[in-house]
Structure 1
Amino acid sequence: MNLIERDEALASLQEMLAAALTGKGKVAMLSGTVATGKSALLDAFAEQAVELGALPVAATASRMEQDLPLGVLGQLIEEAPLVEEERVRALALLEEGKRTAMSSGLASETLDQVDAQIAHALCTVLLELSERYPLVIVVDDVHYADRPSLLCLAYLARRVRFARIMVIFSYSDYVRSTDTFFWTDLLRQPYCGVVQLNPLSRQGVHTLVRERAGEEVAVRFAEDWYAYSAGNPLLAAALIEDYLGGPSARERDGEPAADEPVVGERYGQAVLTCLHRGEPELLRIARCLAVLGETDSLDRLLGLGHTQISRAMNALTAGGVLSVGRFRHESARTAVLAEVGLDERRDLHRRAAGLAHADGAATSVIADHLVQAGPIDAPWVVPVLEDAARDALREGRTERGVDYLRLAWQACTDERRRLKIATMLVRAEWRINPEAPDRHLADLTEAMQRGHLRGGDGVVLARALLWHGRYDDAQDVIEHLTTAGYESDPETVMELNIARPWLRATHPAFASKLGEPRADTGTALVSVAAGRRLETATALAQVLVNGPHEGALIAVERILRLARLDEMSMDTVECALLALTYGGQAEKAAPLCDLFSVEASSRRAPSRQARLSAIRAEMAVRQGDMVSAEQYARAALEIMPITSWGVTVGSPLGSLVIALTAMGRFDDVHDILDRPVLDAMFESRYGLHYLYARGRYSLAVGQAALALRDFQLCGELTGRWGLDVPGLLPWRAGAAEACLQLGRTEQAAKLIEDQLSRCNSRTPRELGMTIRLLAATSELRHRPMLLRKSADMLQNGGDRYEQARSLFDLAEAYRGLGEHRRVGMIMIRARALMKECGAEIGGPQAAAETGKQTAPALSGGSAALLSEAERRVAVLAAAGHTNREIAGELYLTVSTVEQHLTRIYRKLDITSRADLPAVLEFGGAAVG
């Protein structure tokens, strides 16, 4: 290692050596923290001493050899260039001295444990040698020297004042040696001086990095490495090696150096080297910090005094390992932690948990220790874990909350309390993976039958069983809830009242099992959160039973804007989003759903994130955005695997099938429909989505009979369940389309008439889809009017895909009427909409016509030339409307429309409406 920032220390040693060479002996005490380069400095100085005519004689003390009497002095004797007679005499003295020291039992700090004559004779050997050669006697890590050697070295140091000898003792700043006589005896001598080595400065680290890795790397990373090492040369050098991938390794392999300041294995190993070269208590404290991550109660955990802890922390900080009581980098903690055995870790956490509880620490702190400690038999353990779990779930730390509850469930011996914990665990695990709590459901069902489970928990259990398609078990639980006398329990009554509309909308076959609520169970017993759950569940049921109601939808939108994904509100959010979606307001629900998805992701609740993605996919289908529908549906199935979805898998699968079918990716759809699903799914609302999507696919591939069967089954189920509203699934429109393919026009007309009677202004999407089919059953001359109305309704309903289908049919109607000028314009517009949807552009005839007719989109700059009134006229004219139709639509006179068109042609530099672009873009938004 280059001696960066060691010039001053080296100069001090050189000055002492110069005096020693003239017969004025010196003693140097070289001090510094662990791994600050003391040994490197001694090696460099020894080389210089040789050049100046001095003879280095060196020894290194070791903690492992501290019990070896005269071990360090023996190293010096063996290193010294003695003549044979001197060597034989010295070795004999060493053996005699070892026997004396061992027989004394090392019980004294006086020369009595080493015979004074032996100490004198051994030191005389070195003193006589200095008369022939000036000596530089070096003892590295002298604080680890055995006591007999320290006694002899002190004896020698007191006699070098007028000898050609320089003695250098290096030691760590953090010294535990009880042999204080050694230090006090030497430091009071006038010829003894202390040379202090400090860590490298910030500039010193920059210099080191520049020499090892170059100027560019120093500029980029030296500051970071100084922060991670605090100037400790060993740590700084290890960081550079981590970056370079080993000395010259990248250059040998012809690879560039890494772009980021890698902190890896070499740095961790260097930290361990520092700790192992220090005092044992430093390593113990570092290990305790690595396990616990905090300094609280270190003195009580390790049985050390507060003063000892403070000194050790200061030493570890000065040595570059810690900063403000924490490891300077996680790699250091990881390396230290790897050396701690499992039993030691558990024991530390066990004792830390007990101390934290006794000190009244936060429950999360205690619980974190308990999770790592393993079983602890103490009455406070279970309550602490329960409280910590509630806090963790409320704060969105779902996985941690599950860990606490699992441990509480294992530790609890009271059966009723254990069942309560199991119910909490089911709810918590549900957020991560609904399949996980399945193992608890059988035990909870049995407990319910024995009357050991609360009514509110029973409702949670029933819903979990329904999710997994275990309808028989769910029915048993529901029947038990209605017959076991839970009417006096407010919580149970509240949960049952919320469950009724939820079952009505989701598992309608089970809604009747709960019966009607009692007249005396009003909302007085319902909390604010429960009130929101009840209101949104009721709104969803009303939308699916009676169709959208403006007041209810306004209320659920307000609730959504106030709701957060805390422990109980996922039901609130889900029901409210679905009520808006089925109520024809997907455009309002979509951005809110996106916000909740972000929150679910930040709270690490993948189950909730997946369920929200499935809802978002349904919204995208209803908006005609097939690309987004596929993305959201696939995300839902990736975040949570199909096996975890239970019967609810029909929702994301249905959206995915519809989207892929619209895109013309029939092979992908075939693979999806080949996947097995639970039969129980078809007894829920989710099965309806699956059946309807399968019918759409069958229609697209020409299997109209299969499609008709699926649509009719949808109708049968929705009729039986009382959910036969167009906003849920427009199955009659699908069935009518299938009938038209099969040539059953009369049957199709009846289905269309029935559907039209159920639609109104609050269902523009479904109304527009049905009017498109009505046009197909009407005379050719009536079709353009109906199809334009259909396209307008679908534009209002926000479904661009269905709007494009109506426009394709409109183009074909105009083709049949011989109005070819309009065909091309409308076909371009339809194709543009299809492209926006990411759907397959329909029909070879449409493609052929599009190839003949092209029209550029109107740019934002050109659009700015038109007034608002002119723009509205231009849009309708581009869509193929006659002047009279435009006048009727905009409540203008025909003359006014003609005047608008004249100005439009002039401003856009065109000659007729045939030159109008089919898609007009104003301010970045397409209008067509």
Structure 2
Amino acid sequence: MSLMVLIERDEALDVLHEQLAGALSGRGRVAMVSGAVGVGKSALLEAVAEQAIERGALAVTATGSPLERDLRLGVIGQLIQDAPLMAAELELALAMLAEGAAAAGRGADVDAQLVHALCTVLLQLSERCPLVLIIDDVHFADRESMICLAYLARRVRFARISAVFSTVDHGAGSEGLLEAELLRQQHCRRVHLAPLSESGATAMAVDAVGLTAAERFGGGWHAATGGNPLLITALVQDYQAQQRARGGEPPEELVPEGWYGRAVLACLTRGEHRMLPAARGLAALGTAEQLDRLVGETPEDVAGGLLALAGAGLVVDGRFRTEAAGAAVLAGMTDEDRMGLHHKAAVLAYERGAQPADVAAHLLRADRVDAPWVVPVLEDAARHALREGSVERAVSYLRLAWTECADERERTKITTMLIRAEWRINPAAPAVRLTQLTDALRRGWLRGSDAAVLARALLWHGRAEEAEEVLQHVLRDAESDPETAAELLIIVPWLRVTHPGVRLPAPPDVEVRSVAAARRLKTTRSLVRVLTERPGEQALAVEPILRGCHLDEMSMETVENALLALTFSERPDLAAPWCDAFIQEASTRNAPSRRARLAAIRAEIAVRQGDMPAAIAHARAALAAIPLTSWGVTAGGPLGSLMLAATATGAYDLVHEQLDQVVLDSMFDTRYGLAYLHARGRYSLATGHPALALRDLLRCGELMESWEMDAPGLIPWRAEAAAACLLMGDVDESARLVGEQLKRCTPETPRAHGMAMRVLAGLSELRHRPMLLRRAADLLRQAGDDYELARVLVDLADAFHELGEFRRSGMIAAWARSVASRCQAEPLLAALSSGESSGGRHSRGTGVHGRSAELLSEAEQRVAVLAATGHTNQEIAAKLYLTVSTVEQHLTRTYRKLGISRRTELPATLDLTPPRSGDPGVAGVH
């Protein structure tokens, strides 16, 4: 401890300096320096010793220690040995010490003559030279030494001796008696050292960390220490250590670490004896309630210990000032002692009716508590933790409950709860427990909804045959259990569109009474209708359900089904904001598995919006949240989206990485396998391997047809396969596939319709292509898919160029470039820039034409765009819901602003990025 802790100690120094001056003139005095542990008493005594030497006195010192408390005459012996005695005097004194220690060891009281003789040695020495006797931590002195010190203090009044003792506040026992004896003497003074003020704490740190850091952290250091200089010094050292670890950069906030923890333990070992048990009990309990029962001390001793802890700046209002202080106290205990303390704390908490979570927190840290209430308490605490989103804590409770439970049936229920909880963190974690539950099922210990949990887990990990066996058991249970029957009402349609190879007969029709179960059933049926029938408006019926959902234990399936129903019904614009909101909620609930599953859906949504950078980001986030091996059969979802988006952006190396990943063969028996096949086929098509692409796309289509899930909103595989056939020169098969695709399209599937129209245009005569491609562009704008729109616009620019309509070609190419840039579709941009499309062969214009977007109003620009792409005034009026006269007025003003006289002179630099389909007044390009 440096002299900087003498801040705010001027008054104490003055008293001790005055006492030294009196001793030098033969007027001996005694000072009892008291204060909390760590408050700077030792530093003050060092300063007194240095001053004594400067004034020509002898400083004779001794220090009490808890390790030497049983060493008879130990402290008085330190003074004798430190004094500059003649050889004969020292030999005689040491002999007396040995005699006294031996007598005390035999249980005899210290002889008064011996005490007199020992003290006379020091008194006679003071006649030759003034003495300053300094005894630090006198409260740790042995009883025999204290008797000698009291005797000596009574006789220094007319000697050239200044005696200075230091002791802690709130002492008890023999040290308290010594203090009382000394303070009765008129020549004895008490010097009390108070903790530092906030300004004192700041001033203390300036030399070590500089003024800026001291002013910034001084208030916090004071609040964390109560002004205790020992603790403040430790926090300063932690600050310096963190600064060194950051390469010299000052830390943004102070985190108490190693130095602070060691200082806390030093306070406890150097403080009075009642502090340590009180501190340990308080660290375990967190509160002073029942502390005496926990540590086995009297209420008076506990109160004294807490008072001493408060004085040392460790405790305020019955709690540790910092969590780090309590952690340091517990870390300083042996494992056996710490576990035993938590054992007692758990029992006390249960007996007083504490919350299950409070009891369970102690059980986790205790040795075994063999009591019938342990397992139910842990289960209750786990349920509460799951409701709060504290999944890891719930898993810890359930694992301990499983270990403590001796009843196999009850252990099976705990295992089911544990699977549900672990699933939120990592779906691979509970895989080791599936065999246990399967055995329990066969023994009749697992039934109903618990068995359904097992079935879903087995399906996730690709163990479909075992899952089907489990579900057969569940089906039998449903005959007598309405709750199980209600669970099957949800599972059967869910299997229909997720694991279509697993078939179950229809369960008994029962009333679903639970609100949560009713929501799950409704969203599941909505998803089934979207994937097996026309989407219609029923998909939109899931939005009100999403408004009332939160990610609790049972709602994840509801949320997933609702989001997928919106997505596959080609309403990604509605699904995206909901998905973002639930991802945020999952992030705050420490549920990596849920966050990953939602991110995978969000990637699918982004692909369908043509937002390829977002699709890559979300897919990567999904695969980073939980490892690929934990995805089981569902890996096809995020992998498919990532490969589709990477293919669109030209990141083929990224696609290669995903194709190298090992996936379960059973994935291709699920809906997730369709996404993987589609993405792999699209990649093969983009890289010039149409035969490979056709193989994957046809396999995808065969599965969808056999599963009666051939919905264009899921995967428009026929349009993709037709494109592959066209590249291979099989025009007839391409035309057949496109025709089949178009038959299946409805007004509710504009994306699939637009993609099919693009391929149809490629099959058609050149003179018909612009009309078909304009129709495709209109459909894809309605669907909100920028990437597919960009592909159509590139084809449309090429078609206009081949027809010799170069101005229109340039305008469409500019539009295509704008849309493709948003998607970061590098292959499309490269094609436009290299001249493979008409967009690369025409300049963008200069002069006033280059400022057309600035000159025209929004309404004028919408009209001009349609006019430039070949629409008549009547068609424009119909599209924009205007009169023909209004269209003519808009065009007249447009010509005047741009300095042209006819529509064929409309510039190629018009902003051809129209408003979204949901905006008022949006018109298509036909």
> TM-score normalised by the shorter chain: which range applies?
over 0.9
Preserved contact between residue 229 and residue 235 of structure 1 (Cα < 8 Å):
yes
The residue identity in structure 2 corresponding to 1:196 is: H
Choose from 13, 20, 27 the match for 1:10: 13
Is 2:624 aligned against 1:624? no
Q: Any conservation in 2 of the 1:857–1:920 contact (CA below 8 Å)?
A: no
- Match of residue 149 from structure 2: 153
The one-letter code matched in structure 1 to 2:863 is V
The alignment status of 1:870 with 2:860, answered yes or no, reads yes
| Cα 1:17/1:486, change in 2 over 3 Å | same
CA–CA separation in structure 1 for the residues paired with 2:676 and 2:357: 44
Q: String of CA shifts for 1:596-618, please: whole Å, max 9, x gaps.
A: 01111111111111110111111
Give, in angstroms, the shift of residue 420 of structure 1.
1.4
Q: Does 1:486 align with 2:478?
A: yes
Matches within 5 A, 1:608-623: 608-623=594-609
* 1:546 paired to 2:538: no
Equivalences for residues 283-682 of structure 1 within 5 A: 283-482=276-475, 484-510=476-502, 512-513=503-504, 515-518=505-508, 521-523=509-511, 525-550=512-537, 552-682=538-668
Task: Give the AA of the match of 2:757.
Answer: I
Partner Cα separation in structure 1 for residue 180 and residue 885 of structure 2: 115
> Residues 438-461 of structure 1: CA distance to partner in whole angstroms, max 9, x if unpaired?
112122222223322112222221
How much does 1:639 deviate? 0.8
Of stretches 901-910 and 858-867 in structure 1, the one that deviates more from structure 2 is 858-867
Q: Is the 8 A contact 2:583 2:599 kept in 1?
A: yes
Instruction: State whether residues 825 and 880 of structure 1, in contact with CA within 8 Å, keep that contact through their aligned partners in structure 2.
Output: no
SS at match of 1:167: strand
CA distance in 1, matches of 2:64, 2:637: 74
Structure 1 partner of 2:51: 48
SS of structure 2 residue aligned to 1:59: strand
Are 1:547 and 1:727, in contact at CA under 8 Å, matched by a contact in 2?
no
> Distance between the aligned counterparts of 1:445 and 1:28, measured in 2?
78
Aligned pairs for 1:74-223 within 5 A:
74-103=77-106, 105=107, 113-178=109-174, 180-223=176-219
Pick closer, same or farther for the CA change 1:889–1:182 going to 2, 3 Å.
closer
Q: CA separation in 2, counterparts of 1:262 and 1:411?
A: 37
Question: Deviations 1:850-878 (Å, cap 9, x if unpaired)?
Answer: 36322699999986864553232033245
Name the amino acid aligned to 2:910.
Answer: P
Query: 1:351 and 1:688, CA in 2 relative to 1: closer, same or farther beyond 3 A?
Result: same
Q: Retained in 2: the 8 A contact 1:860–1:921?
A: no
CA distance in 1, matches of 2:801, 2:849: 29
Unmatched 5+ stretches in structure 2: none
Counterpart of 1:109? none
Query: Which structure 2 residues correspond to residues 772-787 of structure 1 after superposition, within 5 A?
Result: 772-787=758-773
User: Could you report, residue by residue, the CA deviation over 1:604-640 in whole angstroms, capped at 9, with x for unpaired residues?
Assistant: 1111111101111111111111111111111111111
Residue 73 (structure 1) aligns with: 76
C-alpha displacement of 1:241: 2.8
8 Å CA contact 1:875, 1:920 repeated in 2: no
Give, in angstroms, the shift of residue 317 of structure 1. Answer: 2.0
Secondary structure (helix, strand or coil) at the match of 2:120 reads helix
TM-score where L is the length of structure 1: 0.93
Match of 1:739 among 718, 725, 731: 725
| Cα contact 1:695–1:711 (8 A) shared by 2 | yes
Q: What residue number does 1:760 align with?
A: 746
Classify the secondary structure of the residue corresponding to 2:185: coil
Secondary structure of the 2:557 match is helix
Normalised to the residue count of structure 2, the TM-score between the two structures is: 0.93
Contact 2:616 2:646 in 1 (8 A): yes
Structure 1 residue 261 displacement after superposition: 3.9
- In structure 1, the residue corresponding to 2:751 is in which secondary structure? helix
Cα separation, 2, equivalents of 1:75 and 1:528: 80
Deviation at 1:363, TM superposition (A): 0.4
Cα distance in 2, alignment partners of residues 125 and 460 from structure 1 = 86
Aligned length: 910
Match of 1:22, as an amino acid?
A: S
**Partner SS for 2:683:** helix
**Does residue 825 of structure 2 align to residue 839 of structure 1?**
yes
Q: Deviations over 1:411-466 (max 9, x none)?
A: 22222221111111111111111111111212222222332211222222111111
- How far apart in 1 are the matches of 2:562 and 2:913? 35
- How far is the alpha carbon of 1:909 from its aligned partner? 6.1
Residue identity over aligned pairs, in percent, reads 55
Local SS of the residue matching 2:631? helix
Q: CA deviation at 1:750?
A: 1.6
Whole-Å separation in 2 of the counterparts to 1:533 and 1:547: 21
The secondary structure found in structure 2 opposite 1:914 is coil
In 2 relative to 1, CA 674–878 (structure 1 residues): closer, same or farther, beyond 3 Å? farther
Relative distance call for 1:280 and 1:143 in structure 2 (3 A) is closer
Superposed displacement of residue 480, structure 1: 2.6
> In the TM superposition, what is the alpha-carbon distance from 1:259 to its structure 2 partner?
5.6
Note if 1:239 corresponds to 2:254. Answer: no
The Cα RMSD (Å) is 2.7
Question: How far apart, CA to CA, are the structure 1 residues paired with 2:689 and 2:92?
Answer: 110
Deviation larger for 342-351 or 253-262: 253-262
Query: Shift of the alpha carbon at 1:46?
Result: 2.1
Deviation at residue 558 of structure 1 after TM alignment: 0.7
1:209-250 superposed Cα distances (whole Å, 9 cap, x missing partner)? 22333322322222222222222122222222333349xx97
Structure-1 residue corresponding to 2:32:
29
- Cα displacement string for residues 127-160 of structure 1 (whole angstroms, at most 9, x for unaligned residues): 2222222222222211111112211221222222
- Structure 1 residues 319-328 or 783-792, which shifts more? 319-328
Are the equivalent residues in 2 in contact too, given 1:826–1:880 (CA < 8 A)?
no
Looking at structure 2, the residues matched to 364 and 117 of structure 1 have their Cα atoms a distance apart, in angstroms, of 64
Counterparts of residues 703-722 of structure 1 (less than 5 Å): 703-722=689-708
1:684-703 map, 5 Å: 684-703=670-689
Q: What is the one-letter code of the residue matched to 1:870?
A: E
Give per-residue Cα distances to partners, 1:169-188, cap 9 Å, x unaligned: 21111323336543332221
Moved more, 890-899 or 304-313: 890-899
- Rounded to whole Å, the distance in 2 between the matches of 1:274 and 1:624 is 64
Q: Which moved more, 1:439-448 or 1:625-634?
A: 439-448
Name 1:38's counterpart in structure 2: 41
Native 8 Å contact 2:819 2:913 kept in 1:
no
Secondary structure at the counterpart of residue 677 of structure 1: coil
Q: 1:857 to 1:316 in 2, by over 3 A?
A: farther
User: Could you tell me which amino acid in structure 2 is paired with residue 72 of structure 1?
Assistant: V
Contact 1:658–1:693, Cα closer than 8 Å, also in 2: yes
Bigger mean CA deviation after superposition, 92-101 or 32-41: 92-101
Counterpart amino acid of 1:176? A
Residue segments in structure 1 that go unaligned for 5+ positions in a row: 107-112
> Structure 1 residues 276 and 859, CA, compared in 2 at 3 Å: closer, same or farther?
farther
Letter in 2 for 1:481: V
Cα pair distance change 1:460/1:116, threshold 3 Å: closer
Mapped to 2, the partners of 1:457 and 1:114 lie a distance apart of: 76
Q: Is the 8 A contact 1:142 1:171 kept in 2?
A: yes
2:891 to 878, 882, 901: 901
Q: 1:654 to 1:169 in 2, by over 3 A?
A: same
